């Protein structure tokens, strides 16, 4: 066939491809992260919020979205500004010409929606334009008019595929959907359930992060309704990590650079999916649907000195987003100390298990985050297997330990497989303790860094009993063969083992 014919076909293909991109946008090229720059990426470079410069920086960062706010002037100009006033001039009662008398801090003029969209379309195939349509302070009907005018500009500029509409006004979003049933919409107020959003055709829930903490079931409800999940405005690493772990589609932040870094560290970015967690965002005893108690003062195989109580808030309670396990100098039966030991009701086999916690200080304390084979009662210890994800003894202030115990490898015979790692500020700071457990290995990690790697020798269950279900245990012991090796300092009691969360991921 004539080579010129092949060239002709190639040209036709390119023309058709460009036509398809123009018709359907470049959605497939959108950034796969979940970072939405709140009013653009402004903070790091001290740019004006809602400026074209902050929008361009969000695009440079390849954020998933850049959020901005639309208002309408007295003479029906659509402008980008968050507050109802600009340089002390009420936007809805001022002409655009009057507003132009004042520049943004970087010298830009107050941008119109049309100018903003054009800037957002230039050299951008990654970052969605997330448009918040502000309710009108003059009246509800004017807010609807603003929505209609916004959508006309979007259509004129052929930007539909790049746009996502958000608002605190539910009727504004419903009007958007009436005009374009395919429009992406997210509701901001947080007063409607995911079921309600889905029934009204809203695409997603974009609530303040505290709403999800108060209604955690809304996360799973939104996913079951195929709604997008967004949270605003999240600038704290702990909140970012929680939302990332729960698989949020978008997270709106003033700190996009920080969130991009947290995304890289999140287990979700490496294929892990949250299977179970307790964030302790409640008040009172540990959640009875997730935890049971080991009770008594029999020494627990280690000559420990405490009595583990059951459902006693003096020894275990959640509050302010944190579980506290407290050891007290308190007589119970023939023991001089009380504490708590809680065990997951669920059983787990393989996965990434992590706990964020702050450890108790004091000679004689022995906090642990560990696992025991579900067949322990039948098989006995150490045949059942034990995985000590984190242990700390008060007389070794600068170390934590990660260890396995089996029939062949255990501390009775001095053959346990364990290592220590240096920990800075164990008593004043929260740290992350975790393992990644597969059929072939267990990696022990401290603040996301591996310090102990144990491989399956593929011999017998005497060496590797870790191909079965295990329970997770949290406890704070007093004294014992290891924790009490150098005695107990009674002056430190009561002492508290503070757990921010426990999360279990599956791959």
Q: Please give the positions annotated as active site.
A: 386, 391
Instruction: Annotate 148-171 with DSSP letters as a single string.
Output: HHHHHHHHHTT-GGGEEEEES-HH
- For residue 199, the number of C-alpha atoms closer than 13 Å in the C-beta half-sphere is 6
State the virtual CA torsion across 137, 143, 147, 152 in degrees, nearest 10: -90
Residue positions counted in the chain: 507
Q: Which of 138, 164, 149 has its CA nearest to residue 84?
A: 138
| Cα 109 from Cα 103, distance rounded (Å) | 5
Name the residue with tokens 């920990």: 423
Q: How far apart are the first and last CA of the chain?
A: 51
DSSP-H helix ranges across 266-386: 376-379
- Residue 212 is given by DSSP the state H
Which residues, at least 6 apart from 104, have a Cβ–Cβ distance to it below 8 Å?
Answer: 48, 51, 110
Q: Which of 495, 488, 497, 498 has its CA nearest to residue 328?
A: 495
Name the residue with tokens 């293909």: 13
> Do 465 and 332 contact (CB within 8 A), yes or no?
no
> Do 472 and 386 contact (CB within 8 A), yes or no?
no
Radius of gyration of the chain (CA): 29
> Do 454 and 283 contact (CB within 8 A), yes or no?
no
């Amino acid at each position: 066939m004539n080579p010129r014919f092949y060239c002709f076909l190639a040209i036709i293909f390119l023309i058709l491809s460009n036509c398809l991109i123009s018709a359907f946008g470049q959605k497939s090229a959108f950034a796969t992260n979940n970072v939405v720059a709140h009013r653009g990426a402004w903070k790091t470079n001290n740019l004006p919020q809602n400026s074209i410069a902050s929008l361009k920086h969000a695009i440079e960062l390849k954020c998933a979205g850049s959020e901005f706010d639309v208002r309408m002037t007295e003479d029906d100009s659509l402008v980008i500004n968050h507050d109802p006033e600009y340089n002390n001039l009420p936007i809805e009662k001022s002409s655009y010409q009057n507003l132009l008398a004042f520049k943004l801090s970087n010298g830009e003029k107050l941008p119109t929606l049309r100018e903003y969209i054009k800037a957002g379309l230039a050299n951008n195939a990654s970052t969605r334009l997330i448009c918040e349509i502000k309710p009108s302070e003059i009246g509800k009907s004017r807010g609807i008019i603003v929505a209609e005018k916004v959508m006309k500009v979007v259509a004129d500029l052929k930007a539909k595929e790049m746009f996502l509409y958000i608002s605190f006004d539910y009727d504004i979003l419903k009007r958007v959907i009436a005009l374009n049933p395919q429009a992406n919409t997210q509701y901001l107020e947080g007063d409607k359930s995911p079921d309600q959003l889905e029934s009204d055709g809203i695409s997603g829930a974009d609530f303040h992060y505290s709403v999800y903490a108060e209604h955690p079931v809304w996360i799973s409800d939104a996913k079951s309704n195929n709604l997008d999940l967004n949270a605003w405005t999240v600038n704290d690493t702990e909140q970012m990590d929680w939302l990332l772990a729960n698989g949020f589609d978008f997270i709106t932040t003033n700190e996009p650079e920080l969130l991009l870094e947290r995304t890289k560290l999140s287990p979700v970015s490496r294929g892990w999916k949250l299977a179970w967690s307790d964030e302790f965002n409640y008040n009172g005893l540990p959640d009875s649907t997730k935890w049971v108690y080991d009770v008594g003062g029999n020494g627990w195989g280690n000559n420990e000195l405490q009595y583990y109580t059951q459902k006693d808030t003096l020894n275990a309670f959640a509050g302010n987003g944190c579980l506290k396990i407290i050891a007290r100098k308190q007589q119970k039966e023939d023991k001089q100390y009380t504490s708590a030991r809680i065990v997951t009701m669920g059983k787990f086999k393989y996965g990434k298990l992590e706990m964020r916690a702050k450890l108790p200080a004091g000679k004689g304390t022995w906090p642990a985050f560990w696992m025991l084979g579900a067949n322990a009662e039948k098989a006995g210890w150490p045949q059942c297997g034990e995985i000590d994800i984190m242990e700390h003894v008060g007389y070794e202030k600068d170390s934590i330990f990660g260890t396995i115990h089996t029939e062949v490898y255990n501390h009775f015979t001095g053959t346990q497989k364990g290592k220590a790692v240096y920990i800075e500020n164990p008593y004043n700071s929260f740290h992350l303790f975790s393992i990644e457990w597969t059929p072939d290995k267990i990696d022990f990690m401290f603040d996301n860094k591996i310090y102990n790697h144990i491989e399956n020798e593929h011999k017998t269950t005497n060496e590797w009993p870790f191909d079965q279900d295990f329970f997770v245990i949290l406890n704070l012991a007093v004294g014992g063969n290891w924790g009490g090796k150098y005695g107990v300092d009674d002056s430190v009691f009561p002492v508290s083992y503070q757990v921010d969360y426990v999360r279990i991921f599956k791959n």
